Amino acid sequence: MHILLTNDDGYNALGIQTLYRTLRSQTNHDISIVAPEGQRSATGHSITLFQPLFLTEHNLDGHLKGYSVSGTPSDCVKLAIQGELISKPDLLISGINHGSNLGTDIFYSGTVSAAMEGVLLGVPSLAISLASLECTNFEPAAAYLAEQLDIIVQHHRAGLVNINIPGKPQTEWRGLKVTKLSKAVYENVFERRVDPRGRTYYWQCGNLAQDLEMETDLRAIQEDYISITPMHSDLTDFECLQTWQARFDRK
């Protein structure tokens, strides 16, 4: 199996490099990396239209090459597959992201968007995140994915699976839960400041609101479970669709 790795933290980020080394040492799959040249978190599904995309080639073990790209995570996936930088992968893995991607995070996340771009191009995709900004040990998360990869792939023929791993020692993980997306949102605060030249600027920050609903990704992480959420690209509200069709579709 040929696996494409990408992310939104950048080509040299610890998460993706740890995942690459772990998959190389623990599996027999061919692995390519096409990732942004630097930090591109919270870029969502944006693509670059009015600027060129520059590449830097990196040597990987074996006969495959890695590329860092000046654009967004979605640019990387489109360029890798549609630009034929690499042969079409059998699986795309985006991550390991430093920080969670839960609930409404997915609409802003470059990590999840890169995986969704893979789905749109016909490649089954996984997004994997370490659900802590304080934890920098990606080894347990990478080892878990390597151990479970064949099982996940067997049950994952299409679409996207969003995986969040507790940012704690593996001995504190309580197991696995298959979850739905939470409805939690960030309680954003915009801190107003003034620079030395008198110009006003703002820093955006915020805390993730608690979600007490059962069977959600956020609830699972709060209780120290691995969260796996199956997703797809169709945002159609089918219940509303039927209502509107009944009201407006006239023959």
Q: What is the pLDDT of residues 109-122, one digit of tens each?
A: 999 999 999 999 99
Determine the Cα–Cα distance for residues 111 and 127; give it in Å rounded to an integer. 6
Q: Where are the domains of the chain?
A: 2-183+212-248
Average pLDDT value for the chain: 92
How do residues 12-48 score in pLDDT, each as one tens digit?
A: 999 999 999 999 999 999 999 999 999 999 899 999 9
The first and second tokens of residue 36, run together, are 């942004």
CB 221 within 8 A of CB 250: no
The mean per-residue pLDDT over the stretch 207-232 comes to 87
The pTM of this model reads 0.92
Are 172 and 224 spatial neighbours (Cβ–Cβ below 8 Å)? Answer: yes
> Among the CATH numbers 3.30.1380.10, 3.40.1210.10, 3.30.420.40, 3.40.50.300, which is that of 2-183+212-248?
3.40.1210.10
Which carries the bigger pLDDT value, residue 158 or residue 5?
5
Given a cut of 70, whether residue 251 has pLDDT beyond it is no
In the block, which residue shows the tokens 């920098």? Answer: 136
Provide the β-strand partners of residue 226.
Answer: 176
